[in-house]
Amino acid sequence: MTNEDLIKLLGDKFGNKISGVNEPYGLLTIETTKDVIIGVLGYLKESAGTGFNYLTDITAVHYPERNHIAVVYHLHNMVDKIRIRVKVFIHEHTPTIPTATVLWNGANWMERETYDFFGVKFEGHPDLRRILNMDELDVHPMLKQYPLEDPNRVDKKDEYFGR
């Protein structure tokens, strides 16, 4: 199975719900929408033609200038040794997406981590609590508006230290 076969399979099945097809460094990357994401992941996992039965990772990326949070899934087909990256862009003010725990148990903690750091609410998740930060924290620290250093400090400016 090659990336072209996969693009064709997904195009036949989901039509214009699949967009942004790209292959950075050979890793097939597709974008989809949150209403069909579980359908897409389930199809990739269970269909005989695809067989991505291993969830490698779930994480998110914040793009403040576009008001987007991208939820990124990495799946792996161990038999054909092929990976796929599925992205869903959701609005940063309404960060909700259906949970993937219905497909993989391992998604539980990965989604808790994503919720903890980005505030993405995974609908239907059995136990959506913070996992690494303390429960009292009232921000989701990986969002770009939160600086690394204490913003009240005047002696250290971000432009001197990289970003």
Partner 1 sequence: MNHNQPVYTDNDPQSELVTLNLGPTHPATHGVFQNVLQLDGERIVSGVSTIGYIHRAFEKIAEHRPFYQITPLTDRLNYCSSPINNMGWHMTVEKLLNIKMPKRVDYLRIIIMELARISDHIICNTIIAQDTGATTTFLYLFQFREHIYEIYEEVCGARLTTNIGRIGGFERDFNDIAFAKINKFLKEFPVALREFESLLNRNRIFIDRTAGVACVTPEDALSYSWSGPLLRATGVDYDVRVNEPYCSYEDFDFEVPVGTSGDIYDRYLVRNEEMWQSVSLIEQAMEKLKHEPAGVFHADVPDFYLPAKEEVYNNMEALIYHFKIVMGEIDAPKAEVYHAVEGGNGELGFYLINDGGRTPYRLHFRRPSFINYSMYAKMSEGMLLSDAIINMSSMNIIAGELDA
Q: Residues in the site for partner 1, rule: CB under 8 A?
A: 24-25, 27, 29, 53-57, 59, 61-62, 72, 74, 78, 81, 83, 85, 104-110, 113, 117, 129-136, 141-142, 148, 158, 161-163
CA distance 130 to 102: 20
Is residue 44 within 8 Å of 52, Cβ to Cβ? Answer: yes
Q: Which is nearer to partner 1, 17 or 83 (CB)?
A: 83
146 token code pair? 């939160």
In whole angstroms, how close is the CB of 26 to partner 1 at the nearest point?
A: 10
Specify the residue for token string 């508006």.
145
In whole angstroms, how close is the CB of 117 to partner 1 at the nearest point?
A: 7
In whole angstroms, how close is the CB of 157 to partner 1 at the nearest point?
A: 12
Q: How far is CA 108 from CA 4, 31, 59, 123, 145, in A?
A: 31, 22, 12, 12, 26
Of the candidates 5, 7, 2, the one whose C-alpha atom is nearest the C-alpha of residue 18 is 7
Q: Which is nearer to partner 1, 25 or 93 (CB)?
A: 25
Strand spans (E) along the chain: 19-22, 28-32, 54-63, 68-77, 82-91, 96-98, 121-123
Q: Which is nearer to partner 1, 35 or 109 (CB)?
A: 109
Q: Which is nearer to partner 1, 129 or 153 (CB)?
A: 129
Q: Which is nearer to partner 1, 55 or 97 (CB)?
A: 55
In whole angstroms, how close is the CB of 28 to partner 1 at the nearest point?
A: 11
In whole angstroms, how close is the CB of 51 to partner 1 at the nearest point?
A: 12
CA distance 62 to 104: 24
